[in-house]
Amino acid sequence: MPDTKGLVMVFTGNGKGKTTAAMGMALRAWGQGLKILMLQFIKGGKGYGELKAVEKLPGFEIVSMGEGFVRDAGEDKMAGHRAAAREAMARAREEISSGRWDMIILDEINYAVGFGLLSEGEVLELIDMKPPELHLVLTGRNATGKVTEKADLVTEIKEIKHPYARGIKAQKGVEF
């Protein structure tokens, strides 16, 4: 076996820490000189610390492709979310086959499938088209069975406690 084998890695589950686990791994990878792209399927917003951080890290890019939070979206908004997901998927295919990156993180892609914006089959196709050396990271709740079957690493982050349950507001540096 060659030393470098691109892995398919999934961070899923109902606890906090999926996107930040991917970011932590990306930081490690960046330190080793790897080129990293994070494509966000559900847009987070502008004030996130990781966006400010990667501006200072050449060879690490984050691209937001979503239309904001999907939860509670009415039918009128669903068309927009679907179109954004289609566009993000097209971009993912392009970037995965480009050979420009050593690690690509598809943030919240599992959530986009769970919400019916993308099909499981499309995600499986993405995994299949991956160059052998590329590390591909998929985050988001409710990763589907076939995606976890195909992955090399799957971690389920389980909620034990979350400060929101006690009414504690989002804290800078922890949530954004």
* Residue from 4, 5, 7, 14 in contact with ligand ATP (CB under 6 A): 14
- Measured distance CA(122)–CA(114) in Å, rounded: 13
Of the pair 1, 165, the CB lying nearest ligand ATP is at 165
Q: What residues have CB less than 8 Å from 172, skipping those under 6 apart?
A: 49
Picking from 38, 33, 147, 20, the residue whose alpha carbon sits closest to that of residue 95 is 38
Q: Which partner, Mg ion, ligand ATP, none, binds residue 16 by CB below 5 to 8 Å per kind?
A: ligand ATP
Q: Which partner, Mg ion, ligand ATP, none, binds residue 125 by CB below 5 to 8 Å per kind?
A: none
Q: What is the DSSP letter of 170?
A: P
If one asks whether residue 81 binds ligand ATP (CB under 6 A), the answer comes out as no
Interface segment toward ligand ATP; rule CB under 6 A; list 16-24, 59-67, 90-98, 113-121: 16-24
* Residue from 8, 9, 19, 135 in contact with ligand ATP (CB under 6 A): 19
Angle value at C-alpha 35, between 34 and 41, nearest 5 degrees: 125
- Measured distance CA(79)–CA(170) in Å, rounded: 30
Of the pair 19, 64, the CB lying nearest Mg ion is at 19
If one asks whether residue 43 binds ligand ATP (CB under 6 A), the answer comes out as no
Could you tell me the CA-to-CA distances from 85 to 23, 93, 110, 150 in Å, in that order?
A: 21, 12, 12, 22
Nearest approach in angstroms of CB 161 to ligand ATP is 9
If one asks whether residue 68 binds ligand ATP (CB under 6 A), the answer comes out as no
**Residues 105-164 contacting ligand ATP, CB under 6 A:** 108, 141, 159, 162, 164
